Structure formats: C-alpha cells, structure tokens
C-alpha cells in the first residue's frame, strides 16, 4: 500500500491571538537543585485541563507580564571609539501575574516565602500569629480496614468522628528533628535548627503542601476532593485538621518552582513559555479589581525571578524557553 501526499495549500502565518494565559507549576527538587524540565517537543500539545505529571494546573491567570532584564552593551574600540561588536553584560528575566483562584498552591506561590497551614489548635493554646500549638494529629491506620490512598485516608471510625464533610486536612510525617528542606513531595520550608521550630511534632504538617478537603466520610475513611499532591501517604504520616492558610512578610524561605505558561492561539497555534527555575521575588501582595462599588475582587499577585539552567543541547546557560507550535498547514 502506498501513501500519496498531496500538495495541500498552506495558509499564511498570522500573529497568535489568545484570550488568556494558563499557568502550570511543578516542584523543584530543592535538595538536589533539580528543576522539572518541560519538553515542548514531546508534550507541547498537551490537554490544557490535564497537564502531564508532575505539572500542577494553577488555572487561568491575568496580568501575565514577562520582563527581559538582559542588558546588551556596545563593545567599542579605537579612537574615536566605534562599536565593533556587542556583549551581554547581564542576563535577567522576571515574571509577574495575578492568580484567578485562591487555592493552597496559588496562595503559597504568591506568598513568596514558606506558607503555613493554620492547624486547629490544642485547647488553651497561647495565641500566635501563624497559629498556636496544634491539636494532636490523627494517625493513619495500617492493617485495619482499607489502606489509605491519595484520595482516601483511613483514620478509623473513632477518629473520623472528629472530622466533618468540608474539613481541611494536612497529611505528612512528624517532625523529629529533620534539618534542611521539609515537606513531602514538595519542599515547603527550610529548617535551620530544631530549636527554631521548637521541636514541634506538627511542624512538617504546619508547612506541608500535602493538603486536601474532606468530601465524604464512610466507615472511618475520609474521602478527599482531589488526590494529595504527594500521592499515597507513606508510613508514619499523620493527619492534622486546619482552618486555613497563613503567610508572613519577612520570612527567610524562598519559594522555587518550575513554571510553564501556555497561551492557546485562536488558530490552533500555541505559545509556551517555560521557566525551569522561578524564585519568588516579592512578599505576599494582592491586586484589587473593582467590580461595582464597594465590591472589589482581590487577586493574589505573584512575581518571580528566573534562575539559570544549562540547556543540554549546547551547554548554554539560559533562564527561559519560549516555544511556538504553529497551527496545521501554516507558513513558516
């Protein structure tokens, strides 16, 4: 059987027209210093509603602004000086945006530093800005009933009575003196000394991004609305309830994530901007959009500075990759 290729007409290429930008973030392995690289050649046409793992869909964003801070200076020689070439004297890039939703990850990214879970406090806890001493955590049962999964937590019937539909939960290991980056799945804080965190057994759960919302409770099992970011809970993990999230101005930790921003074009073309390493460059900030007086919509504002990676194809040190995928049968 032979295949015949006909000379199909090619339409002139036009500037991409897009109505909005969708953001995806993936964790950077902070301990190893390894970002998540996105290969547009392999995955560039992915379904915007189902990004490839480990990319996390942050939803549509507004005010997406890329700034190139790269400086190119003239290289002069002779008298009088004549420009004989150019040299890059500095390479820098920043990104700013506003998230359209207030989820745990969006709040974290926009906070700039470590972002804490407001764990339910123990009775009589001394008031504290990021939450007082937390109530005792609830262990995940093993060997009794179904095994816990990324979307169901087996805490047993007695403990389950302490939860209700709508409860927010943080699932992670106990703090037992670990130093350095903590948080299962995604590094969410950096512990310099055990004394700094007061040896708090709940500290990892206080900062973890491994959180969920309970949508059903049955036979001692908490069913979650969506899978935990860190996947199936590991041995030793416990569950703490929380009431919300908190971030601070002036903390020491820098959030660092891999970023991917997609602009779907109206002609089926697509622009993808990938920053393998983005570090937060501002503290927690909001932008207000007036709806109708006195109502305002409050959006989380994030700003990030790109850090370098080496392109394996040629060893060049770069900050970001912009890829363009033309529509079918377009002039190039």
Partner 1 sequence: MQNAKDTFYVTLQSRLAALNPARTIVVRGVVRPGTLVEENELPSAAVPVDAFRLQWTGLQANSAGPLPLVAMECSIQYATDGSSGNGSMDRGRLLSAMDAELAAALGAEPHMVPKMNYAAAGAGIAATPMGTNVFWADPVFGAATAVDERLERTSTVQVFAYQEAGEL
* Cα 327 versus chain centre, distance: 29
For the CB of residue 4, give the shortest distance to partner 1 in the complex, in Å: 20
Size of the site for partner 1 (CB under 8 A): 14
Residue 63: CB atoms within 10 Å? 14
Nearer to partner 1, 160 or 262 (CB): 262
> What contacts 208, CB < 8 A, 6 or more positions away?
117, 170, 171, 172, 182, 183, 184, 188
State the DSSP H helix or E strand holding residue 206, giving kind and residue range, or none if neither. helix 203-207
Residue 325 interacts with partner 1 (CB under 8 A)? no
Residue 151 interacts with partner 1 (CB under 8 A)? no
Buried b (16+ CB within 10 A) or exposed e, 209-242: bbbbebeebeebbbebeeebbbeebeeebbbbbb
CB 235 within 8 A of CB 142: yes
Return d(Cα 162, Cα 154) in angstroms, integer: 13
- Pairing label, strands 256-264, 21-27: antiparallel
Nearer to partner 1, 19 or 88 (CB): 19
For the CB of residue 153, give the shortest distance to partner 1 in the complex, in Å: 33
Nearer to partner 1, 165 or 329 (CB): 329
For the CB of residue 50, give the shortest distance to partner 1 in the complex, in Å: 13
State the DSSP H helix or E strand holding residue 204, giving kind and residue range, or none if neither. helix 203-207
**Three-state DSSP class for 178?**
coil
Residue 62 interacts with partner 1 (CB under 8 A)? no
Return d(Cα 239, Cα 230) in angstroms, integer: 14
For the CB of residue 51, give the shortest distance to partner 1 in the complex, in Å: 16
Looking at residues 91 to 120 of the shown chain, list those that interact with partner 1 (rule: CB under 8 A): none
* Runs of H (alpha helix) within 77-177: 104-111, 157-160
For the CB of residue 37, give the shortest distance to partner 1 in the complex, in Å: 28
**Residue that has been written with the tokens 């920043």 in this structure:** 94
Nearer to partner 1, 81 or 329 (CB): 329
Nearer to partner 1, 10 or 157 (CB): 10
Nearer to partner 1, 61 or 153 (CB): 61
The only residue of 37, 268, 289, 296 in contact with partner 1, by rule CB under 8 A: 268
Nearer to partner 1, 137 or 265 (CB): 265
For the CB of residue 44, give the shortest distance to partner 1 in the complex, in Å: 17
For the CB of residue 7, give the shortest distance to partner 1 in the complex, in Å: 14
- x-or-dash pattern for partner 1, window 8-27, by CB under 8 A? -x-xxxxx-x-x--------
Looking at residues 207 to 266 of the shown chain, list those that interact with partner 1 (rule: CB under 8 A): 266
Residue 20: CB atoms within 10 Å? 13
Dihedral sign, Cα of residue 38, residue 41, residue 46, residue 52: negative
CA angle 254/256/257 to nearest 5° reads: 155
Residue 289 interacts with partner 1 (CB under 8 A)? no
Nearer to partner 1, 59 or 132 (CB): 59
Nearer to partner 1, 7 or 9 (CB): 9
Instruction: List interacting residues with partner 1 (CB under 8 A).
Output: 9, 11-15, 17, 19, 266-268, 327, 329, 331
């Amino acid at each position: 059987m032979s295949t015949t290729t006909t000379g199909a007409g090619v339409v002139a290429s036009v500037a991409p027209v897009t109505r909005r930008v969708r953001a995806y973030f993936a964790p950077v392995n902070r301990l190893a210093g390894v970002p998540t690289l996105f290969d547009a050649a392999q995955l560039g046409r992915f379904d915007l509603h189902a990004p490839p793992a480990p990319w996390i869909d942050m939803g549509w964003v507004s005010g997406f602004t890329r700034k190139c801070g790269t400086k190119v200076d003239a290289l002069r020689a002779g008298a009088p000086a004549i420009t004989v070439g150019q040299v890059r004297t500095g390479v820098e890039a920043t990104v700013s945006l506003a998230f359209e939703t207030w989820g745990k990850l969006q709040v974290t990214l926009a906070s700039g530093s470590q972002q804490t879970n407001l764990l339910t406090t123990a009775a009589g806890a001394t008031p504290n800005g990021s939450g007082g001493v937390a109530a005792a955590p609830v262990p995940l049962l093993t060997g009794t009933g179904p095994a816990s999964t990324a979307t169901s937590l087996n805490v047993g019937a007695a403990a389950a009575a302490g939860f209700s539909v709508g409860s927010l939960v943080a699932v992670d290991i106990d703090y037992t003196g670990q130093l350095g980056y903590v948080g299962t799945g995604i590094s969410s804080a950096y512990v310099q000394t055990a004394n700094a965190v007061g040896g708090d057994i709940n500290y990892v759960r206080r900062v973890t991004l491994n959180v969920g919302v309970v949508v059903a409770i049955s036979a001692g099992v908490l069913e979650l609305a969506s899978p935990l970011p860190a996947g199936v809970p590991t041995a030793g993990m416990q569950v703490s309830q929380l009431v919300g999230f908190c971030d601070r101005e002036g903390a020491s930790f820098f959030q660092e994530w891999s970023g991917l921003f997609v602009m779907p074009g109206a002609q089926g073309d697509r622009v993808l901007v990938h920053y393998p390493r983005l570090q937060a460059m501002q503290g927690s900030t909001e932008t207000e959009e007036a709806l109708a007086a006195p109502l305002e919509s409050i959006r989380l504002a994030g700003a990030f500075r790109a850090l370098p990676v080496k392109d394996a194809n040629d060893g060049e040190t770069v900050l970001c990759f912009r890829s363009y995928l033309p529509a079918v049968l377009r002039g190039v």
